[in-house]
């Protein structure tokens, strides 16, 4: 009779000592060096509802609205606006 597979949580936590540890790929990756850089915004659900409604009504993406807002804040401080927003 074949031995039953261990399907409990222990299968995820067992770490055989005979396997060689593999270094993480993220250790060797360079972030923010390409044409595009990924970023996230944290907001409440209510803020998200209002922002997405506004973005939909203007036909603009939430990302573009964020960039336009940051660009305007820079201009208010006497700094040049963000490039390539048009």
- What are the φ and ψ backbone dihedral angles of 11, each rounded to 5 degrees? -65, -25
Convert the pLDDT of each residue in 39-79 to its tens digit.
899 999 999 999 999 999 999 999 999 999 999 999 999 99
Considering the chain, what is the average pLDDT of its residues?
82
Measured CA distances, 57 to 28, 41, 44, 52, 61 (Å)? 42, 20, 20, 8, 10
**In this predicted structure, what is the pLDDT of residue 38?**
84
The residue ranges of every structural domain in the chain are 41-86
**Contact call for residues 62 and 56 (beta carbons, < 8 A):** no
pTM of the model: 0.59
Dist. CA 67–CA 85, nearest whole Å: 8
Task: State percent of the chain over pLDDT 90.
Answer: 49
């Amino acid at each position: 009779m074949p031995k039953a597979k261990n399907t409990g949580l222990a299968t995820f936590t067992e770490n055989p000592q005979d396997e060689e540890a593999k270094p993480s790929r993220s250790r060797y990756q360079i972030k923010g060096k390409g044409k595009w850089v990924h970023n996230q915004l944290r907001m409440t659900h209510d803020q998200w509802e209002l922002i997405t409604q506004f973005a939909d009504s203007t036909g603009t993406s939430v990302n573009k609205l964020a960039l336009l807002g940051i660009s305007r804040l820079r201009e208010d401080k006497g700094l040049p606006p963000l490039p390539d927003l048009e």
